[in-house]
Amino acid sequence: MQNGIKSIKKEQIAFYLDKKVIYLRDVKNLSKAKNRISKIKELFKNKKLFINNFIEIQDTNEENLNNFEKVLRLEQDRFILWREHLPRLAMGNMPMPEGYFEEFTLVDDNSEVVNGVIEIKNHFSIPANTTELSFPLIFGEEDINFEAYITSKQLPFKKDVDCKLELKYNYEDETPYKLKFIPLDKEYRPLSVEWREIQYKKCSSLPIPSYPPKKSWEELQHFQNKNGETINLLSWISKDFRRIIEINQLLKGNFFRRTLDKVWKYDKNNKEYQDFSTEYGNIRIYKNKYLEKANEIIFSAEKRDRFYKATNIITDKEHLKLIKSMRFPLYTIWKDGRTLIDVDVPNGFRELAYEAIQSALFLLSSKNTPKDLRIELFRFLSIINQDSDLRIFNTLLSFAKDKNKFKGIF
CA–CA separation, 260 and 298 (whole Å): 10
CA–CA separation, 255 and 171 (whole Å): 91
Whether 290 contacts 315, CB under 8 Å = yes
Q: What is the pLDDT along the chain (410 residues), one digit of tens a residue?
A: 444 555 555 555 555 555 565 555 555 555 555 555 666 666 555 555 555 555 555 556 667 677 777 777 777 777 666 666 688 888 887 655 455 556 888 988 888 888 889 999 888 888 888 888 888 888 887 778 888 999 899 999 999 999 999 999 988 888 889 999 999 999 999 999 999 888 765 566 666 777 888 899 999 999 998 888 999 999 999 999 999 998 898 888 888 889 888 889 999 999 998 899 888 888 888 888 878 888 888 888 888 877 888 888 888 888 888 888 899 999 999 999 899 999 999 999 999 999 999 999 999 988 888 888 999 999 999 999 899 999 888 888 888 887 776 665 55
Q: What is the pLDDT of residue 223?
A: 93
Q: Which of 277, 309, 274 is nearest to 295 (CA)?
A: 274
- CB within 8 A of 327, min separation 6: which ones? none
Rg (Cα) of the chain, in Å, rounded?
Answer: 40
Q: What is the pLDDT of residue 344?
A: 93
Q: What is the pLDDT of residue 46?
A: 54
- Say what the alpha-carbon torsion angle 280, 286, 292, 293 is, to the nearest 10 degrees: -10
Using CB atoms within 10 Å of the CB of residue 85, give its burial: 0 to 12 exposed, 13 to 18 middle, 19+ buried.
Answer: exposed
The model's pTM: 0.48
- Count of Cβ atoms closer than 10 Å to residue 7 Cβ: 11
Q: Which residues pair with 20 in a beta bridge?
A: 17
- CB within 8 A of 59, min separation 6: which ones? 2, 3, 4, 6
Q: Which of 215, 387, 381, 386 is nearest to 395 (CA)?
A: 381
Q: Where are the domains of the chain?
A: 5-76, 89-197, 219-409
